[in-house]
Amino acid sequence: MNGMHPGSNSTLTTLAVVFEGPEQLRVSRLDLTPPGEGDLVIDVEWSGISTGTERLLWAGRMPPFPGMGYPLVPGYESVGRVVHAGARCGRRVGERVFVPGARCYGEVRGLFGGASARIVVPAARATTVDEDLGERAVLLALAATAHHAMAAANAARPDLIVGHGVLGRLLARIAAIDAGAAPVTVWERNPARAGGAQGYEVLAPEADARHDYRAIYDVSGDPRLIDSLIGRLAPGGEIVLAGFYAEPLTFQFAPAFMREARLRVAAEWRESDLIAVKRLVESGRLSLDGLITHRHQAPEAPAAYRTAFGDPACLKMILDWRSPS
C-alpha cells in the first residue's frame, strides 16, 4: 500500500494520474484527505480510462462543468479493496468495491478522481461487487450509463445503435435481454471495431437500407450525424443522444418536421441504474466479457492514455494499480 496506514498520525499519500493541462499528464504522489468516521479508504486494484469524457479533458475540449480545471485527477471507473472503514460506515475491511471516482486530493481537483492507487470516499459511494468479476467490475459505470439511456419514462428499446465501442456493445447486450424483441442493428464504420457482436448485426451505414427506425441511440459523440439519423427515422421516431458532445448540435428543420422527430438527451446514470445492472451481471443475464482489450501498469499511464485515445482497436484500457512503483 502507498503512504501510511490510515490509523497512524502520518499523512496518507497515494500515486495518482494527474492532468496538469491539455495533453499534459504525469503520475504523481499526492496527499489524501484524512478519512472521517463515515469514510472508507480503498486500495484501488484497477481503474478504467474513458475514451469519451476523459478524452475531452485530455484534449482540453471538455465543456465547462462544476469542478472542471487543472490540475485534475481523472477516472470514474475504479475497483479496489477496503483497507480502512470508519466507525460509522457499517462496512468491513477486505470488501471488493466499485467506486465512481473520488474527491480527496486537497487542492488537486477530483472532478472524477478515480485514477489513483488509493482513494478516500464516503461509504455510500462504494458498491460491493462479486469477487469473480475482478477487473471487469470497472465496466459497471458504462453498463449503468447504457441502462439509464434505456430506462427513461416511455423510452423505446433501441432498434439502431450508432457506434460499436464499449457503450454501444453494452446497449446492444442490454437490449438483447428482452428475448421477444427483434434483433438490434449497430452501425460502425471502423473495421477494427466491427467484430464481437453477440446476437445482433453490425453494418456500415451505407450498407443499411432501412429508413424506418423507431429509436436510434447515438453513442458516437459526433454532432455531424444528426441530419443523417433523422433521415433514417420512422414517423414519430426518436433519436437518443447517449454519447457526449463537445460541439454544438445542429440539424435541418424540414426533415425533422416532416417526421415529427423527437430528440432525447440521456444524462448521467443514477444509483438505481448501477443496482439494476449489477443484478443483471450477477444473475448472468448481462455479460461484461470481451470488452476490456488493453491493460497497462499504472506507472505506464502516459502510454496507456495514448493507446486508449489513439488506437481504434482499443475498446477499453485499464490501469493496474496493484503493484505501482
Residue 111 predicted with pLDDT over 80: no
Average pLDDT estimate for 191-215: 94
Average of per-residue pLDDT values in the chain:
91
Rg (Cα) of the chain, in Å, rounded?
20
Average of pLDDT values for 255-270? 94
Does the structure show a pLDDT above 70 at 324? no
* Distant-in-sequence, close-in-space partners of 239: CB < 8 Å, separation ≥ 6: 216, 218, 226, 229, 230, 233, 261, 262, 263, 264
Please, which residues bridge with residue 319 across strands?
Answer: 47, 296
Give the pLDDT confidence of 148-184 residue by residue, as tens digits: 999 988 899 999 999 999 999 999 999 999 867 888 9
Return the pLDDT at 119: 97
Q: Of the ranges 66-75, 212-221, 285-294, which one carries the lowest mean pLDDT score?
A: 66-75
* 179-202 pLDDT tens trace: 678 889 999 999 989 999 988 999
The number of beta carbons lying within 10 Å of the beta carbon of residue 8 is: 9
- Assign 3-class secondary structure to 29-86: EEECCCCCCCEEEEEEEEEEECCCHHHHHHHCCCCCCCCCCCCECCCCCEEEEEEEEC
Residue with cell 421477444: 180
**Structural domains of the chain in order of their starting residue, each with its CATH number:** 13-128+293-320 (3.90.180.10), 143-265 (3.40.50.720)
Q: Do 94 and 58 contact (CB within 8 A), yes or no? A: no
Q: Given a cut of 80, is residue 21 above it in pLDDT?
A: yes
Using the predicted structure, report yes or no on whether residue 325 has a pLDDT greater than 50. no
pLDDT for the residue 323: 78
- Per-residue pLDDT band for 143 (boundaries 50, 70, 90) equals very high
The answer, yes or no, to whether residue 140 has pLDDT greater than 70, is yes
pLDDT of residue 66: 65
- Give the predicted TM-score (pTM) of the model: 0.92
Cell readout for 33 is: 484527505
pLDDT reported for residue 295: 97
Over range 251-277, report the average pLDDT. 95
pLDDT tens-digit map of 44-70: 999 999 988 888 888 877 766 666 778
The per-residue pLDDT for 8 is: 53
Lowest mean pLDDT among 106-115, 182-191, 286-295: 106-115
Over range 307-322, report the average pLDDT: 95
Q: Categorize the per-residue pLDDT at 93 as very low, low, confident or very high, splitting at 50, 70 and 90.
A: very high
Predicted local distance difference test score (pLDDT) of residue 128: 97
| Local confidence band at 129 (pLDDT 50, 70, 90 cut-offs) | very high
Q: Return the minimum-mean-pLDDT range out of 4-13, 69-78, 263-272, 287-296.
A: 4-13
Residue position matching grid coordinates 458532445: 245
